[in-house]
């Protein structure tokens, strides 16, 4: 591709962005394209990685600004700024702010933060147990894909739901057993008084016959 063709291609790539102020990286990229410096795969890989890293740094910095703004602005000013004066809405602001807070709190290392804020948000909003499992599976890394994290969460959370269901059933069974025991104890106390322990003989069984089995089994047989 000739230099003029490269320049034309770059201009087409930037079409619709004329009103956007050029950043230092924009100017650098434009200069490299116009000068025909980008020719090999290594050239393009180097520049694309530079820009990609800049994307992550920018959204993390925006998130940090939002955290600071929330702390410093008067009541209502922050919400007004988000709703009327920024190029994104509340949901995006919330995700950017959450990512910055989690990164700066040490929840995950900044160098393993995904380059997309939506992917980073999925990662930093995992529970501690989920994050530990994700790390064990090699999913806590800068180049992880959002779909991989979503698939992982569906798997572990469905397992958690199944476990919770089993434990709820166990709890309800234990509660029924408890209620049966308390009911039988109340019957005996009504019949013999509340000082039943004092009627035990030295063997500890009150001289009565030994009944084997659990309380529930006895009540069910009765």
- Other beta carbons within 10 Å of 116: 16
* Domain ranges (residues) in the chain: 27-144
% pLDDT > 70, the chain:
68
E strands in 78-139: none
CB-based burial of residue 122 (10 Å sphere; 0-12 exposed, 13-18 middle, 19+ buried)?
Answer: buried
Quote the pLDDT of residue 222: 44
* Vertex 73 angle, CA 69 and 74, to 5°: 155
Q: How far apart are CA 49 and CA 52, in angstroms?
A: 5
Count how many Cα atoms sit within 13 Å of the Cα of residue 182 in the half-sphere of its side chain.
6
pLDDT in tens, 61-80: 999 999 999 998 888 899 98
Quote the pLDDT of residue 31: 64
Q: What is the mean pLDDT of the chain?
A: 77
Paired tokens of 202: 């030295």
Taking the model in full, what pTM does it have?
0.55
Quote the pLDDT of residue 16: 40
Q: Is the dihedral of CA 6, 10, 12, 13 positive or negative?
A: positive
Q: How far apart are CA 88 and CA 59, in angstroms?
A: 12
Q: How far apart are CA 120 and CA 145, in angstroms?
A: 10
Quote the pLDDT of residue 19: 40
Quote the pLDDT of residue 203: 47
Spans in the chain with pLDDT lower than 50: 1-21, 202-204, 210-211, 215-216, 218-219, 221-222
Quote the pLDDT of residue 25: 56
Quote the pLDDT of residue 32: 62
Quote the pLDDT of residue 153: 92
């Amino acid at each position: 591709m000739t230099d003029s063709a490269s320049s034309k291609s770059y201009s087409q790539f930037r079409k619709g962005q004329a009103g956007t102020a050029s950043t230092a990286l924009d100017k650098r990229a434009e200069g490299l394209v116009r000068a025909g410096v980008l020719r090999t795969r290594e050239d393009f890989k180097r520049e694309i990685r530079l820009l990609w890293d800049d994307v992550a740094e920018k959204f993390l910095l925006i998130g940090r600004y939002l955290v600071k703004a929330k702390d410093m602005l008067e009541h209502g000013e922050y919400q007004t700024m988000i709703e009327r004066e920024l190029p994104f809405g509340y949901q995006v602001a919330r995700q950017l702010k959450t990512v910055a807070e989690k990164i700066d709190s040490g929840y995950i290392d900044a160098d393993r933060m995904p380059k997309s804020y939506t992917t980073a948000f999925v990662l930093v909003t995992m529970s501690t147990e989920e994050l530990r499992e994700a790390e064990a599976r090699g999913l806590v890394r800068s180049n992880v894909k959002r779909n991989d994290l979503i698939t992982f969460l569906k798997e572990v959370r469905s397992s958690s739901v199944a476990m919770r269901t089993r434990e709820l059933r166990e709890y309800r069974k234990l509660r029924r057993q408890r209620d049966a025991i308390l009911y039988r104890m109340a019957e005996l106390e009504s019949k013999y008084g509340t000082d039943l322990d004092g009627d035990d003989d030295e063997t500890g069984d009150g001289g009565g016959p030994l009944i084997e089995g659990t309380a529930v089994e006895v009540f069910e047989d009765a």
